[in-house]
Each structure stands twice: as structure tokens, then as C-alpha cells.
Amino acid sequence: MTEFLQLALALVILISAAKLGGYISLRLGQPSVLGELIAGLILGPSLLDLLHHTPFTSQHLDETIALLAELGVLLLMFLAGLELHIQDLAKAGKVSALAGTLGVIFPVAMGFGLGRLFGMEPMPSLFVGLVLAATSVSISAQTLMELGVLRSRVGIGLLGAAVFDDVLVILGLSIILAMTTGEGGLASVGLVLLSMTLYLVVASALGVLALPRLARRVDKLPVSQGLTAFVLVTLLLFAWAAEALGSMAAITGAFMAGLFLSRSPLRERIQANIAVIAYGLFVPIFFVSVGLVANARMLIGEALWLSVAMIAVAIVSKIAGAGLGARLASFTNRESLQLGVGMMSRGEVGLIVATLGVSQGLLNGQLFAGVVGVVIVTTLLTPPALRMMFARPTAPAQSPPAAAVEE
């Protein structure tokens, strides 16, 4: 069987399993994303390891699916940005800064303490803390969209805090690598900060001044699906520039592209067109792929206990740090807890940072297995936990103002 036919068959299985898992999850009163994640765990090396048995013999199949999954998370974060208004995010600046900052400080401090408790050297311990600080809100964003509360002030604060989290983790990573490799020192950290600032300024200027106007002009051209093509090019360009030029995560660039296009009068058409592509193909692949790369069989012996400890620290530190930041920004206790739970999920960002740590000799195989355990558990816990947090109605006096939820 050719590599293309193997990929086609794999996609048939993965998408079908994702949709079936999502349907069962919804029937059980849980977000569909939970079922899609569990479907990935069943198909992955934790149980069936389907893609490493006949007829799947291609050495590049895993890489291809991983790349398709990356497109899925970019599309998902773009749609999350498209749901919001820039004014709403600007109003949430205080809670975003406090929750994002404390949501990094707490995991770094507690992760460092955990590493020292397990007898690690200071620098690997600090790196463990940094890995635990990396939040991946794509799963939370999907869950909040399903619950219809993404544009509540908790949802807006969550997405804003994730941007601060991303910036701080990348800066921390740059500092640690500069200290361990001895290359660049403070100059490299300054360069990273400068590139982030330049990217945010240039992207914001283009997004506010040019994108909505360009979208209208492209829509008038006699080109088949010209608007959809323009939007896809825009989100991919913003995502590429964020990581390649701005030293930020690509998902941040995709989110910003959606945020800027949310101002366009064509927003509803853009959302409908991109949602078909995203939820019909790429997003299910992303959620299933989380299970495909996670191998729970590695969590045995000492690695299991280390993973349990890391999971506990990951959950408690993120909820406590981000929740405290939200409370300091005048959120209610319930809203603070909701935001903290939404920041709990780890994902591709944590795995990327952990992989870099392994390549630099800062993390060993057991620690990496522990990180995988954190990703599995927090990813599975976040959707039902958020549903439970939002199950009880919030008092009317604490609801977001009408202007924050208007379409």
C-alpha cells in the first residue's frame, strides 16, 4: 500500500473515531472534545497502537498526522479569536496580566520545589517548573465555545491570560537556555523581548488598519472562494510570523488573526467557511493526535510516582496562581476558580518545551514521561471540570455587561 493510501485510511479511522467519541461524550453530558481525546488514547500506544501495525508501514505517517494536527490547533485558535472583540480583550487587560503572570510564577516555584524534593539539580528543577507553567488553552477554548461562554468575562480573561503565559514561558525558556548553553546571555534574552514587541506592534497595526479592509476588497473579486483563501493565508502568515520572527507560539499568531478579523462585517461568513474546514477535518485530527503521542505504558515504577507528583503540582499551582490573579482583578471567587480551571490544561506547548529540555540534557526520559502524564491527565480533566464549573448559574450582578456579549 502506498504512503498516500496509508494516510487516507488513517484519516478515515481517526476522523471517524473522533466524531464517534465526541457523539458518545455528548450523549453522556460531557463536551465532545473529551470523547475525541479518549478516542486518541484508545487508538494510540497506550492501548491499540493502531498506526504502528499492518497495513501502516510508512515511516512518515506519524509526522504527517502531527503536521495536520498543528493546522488543526491553528484553525481552532483562529476561531476562538474570531469569537471575541478587541475591545473585550482590552477591557480584560488587568485580569489577563495578573492571572497570566501568577499562573506562571506559581507553577515555576512549585515545580522547582518538586524537582529539588526528588533530588534534581537546580537548573533541571527550574526547567521542570517552566514546563509545568506552559498552558495550552486550545482545549479550554473549544469547551467554552461548546458551553456558549467563551465571550463571558471569564472566557475573555482566560484567552488574554494565555497570551501573557505564552510570552512569559518563552522568555523564561530563553533565559534558562542562555544560562545553560552560555550562548548570548542577556543579549539573547533582550533580542527575544525585542522580537516579541516588534511582532505585536506590527501585527496589531496590520490587523487593525488593513485586515478588515483587505477582506472586503478580496470578497468583491471574481475569484472562487477568494475570501476563504485570503483568511487561510492570513492566519497561516500570522502564525508563521509569530514563531519564526516574533519568538512566540504560532497559536498566538493564529489567535490574533482571528481577533483582528472579528471586526470585519464579513465575520459570520468567515466563521462559517473556516468552521467547515476546521471541524470537518483538522480539529478532530488535533484532538485525537494528543492521545496518539501519549504513551501511558511509560508511566511505571518511579516514573509513575514522579508523574503523579507532577500532575498534582500542575493542577494545584495553575488553579491557585491564575485563580489568585483573577481574584486580585476583582473577579468573584467562582469566576476565579473557573478561570484557574480553564488554565489547567497542558498540551503541545508543554510537550515542545519538554522536548527541547531533553535535547539540552535538562530532562531525562523519566521526566519526559512525567510531562506526558501531566498532558494526558490535565487534558482529560479540563473539559468535564469546566462543564462542572459552569453548570451552576452565576448571579446576575456578576454577569458580564451586555456590551461584552453582543454579537
Domain count, the chain: 1
Name the residue range of residue 197's domain. 3-404
Q: Is the pLDDT assigned to residue 393 strictly greater than 80?
A: no
Q: Is the pLDDT assigned to residue 334 strictly greater than 50?
A: yes
Average pLDDT, whole number, for the chain? 85
The better pLDDT of the pair 134, 271 is held by: 271
Angle between helices 61-82 and 250-261 (to 10 degrees): 40
User: Any idea which residue has 489577563 for its cell?
Assistant: 96
The per-residue pLDDT for range 107-143, each reduced to its tens digit, is 999 999 999 998 888 888 998 998 899 887 788 888 8
Spatial distance between the Cα atoms of 250 and 50, rounded to a whole number of angstroms: 29
Quick check: helix, strand or coil at residue 203? helix
Spatial distance between the Cα atoms of 250 and 246, rounded to a whole number of angstroms: 9
The better pLDDT of the pair 307, 324 is held by: 324
C-alpha cell at position 374 = 501531566
User: Any idea which residue has 507553567 for its cell?
Assistant: 133
Spatial distance between the Cα atoms of 281 and 275, rounded to a whole number of angstroms: 10
The CATH number of whichever domain residue 85 belongs to comes to 1.20.1530.20
The per-residue pLDDT for range 346-382, each reduced to its tens digit, is 766 676 677 677 777 888 777 877 787 787 788 788 8
Q: How many CB atoms lie within 10 A of CB 63?
A: 10
pLDDT reported for residue 11? 96
pLDDT reported for residue 227? 94
- Binned at pLDDT 50, 70 and 90, residue 247 comes out as confident
Spatial distance between the Cα atoms of 20 and 325, rounded to a whole number of angstroms: 38
CA atoms lying within 13 Å on the CB side of residue 194: 6
Q: Identify which of 367, 351, 363 has the alpha carbon closest to the alpha carbon of residue 180.
A: 363
The 10 Å CB-count burial string (b at 16+, else e) for 25-55 is: beeeebbbbbbbbbbbbebbbbeeebbeeee
pLDDT reported for residue 285? 93
Cβ–Cβ < 8 Å for 279, 66:
no
Q: Is the pLDDT assigned to residue 10 strictly greater than 80?
A: yes
Q: Is the pLDDT assigned to residue 306 strictly greater than 60?
A: yes
Q: Is the pLDDT assigned to residue 28 strictly greater than 90?
A: no
pTM, 2 dp: 0.76
pLDDT reported for residue 16? 96
The region, left, alpha or beta by phi > 0 then psi within -120 to 50, assigned to residue 303 is alpha
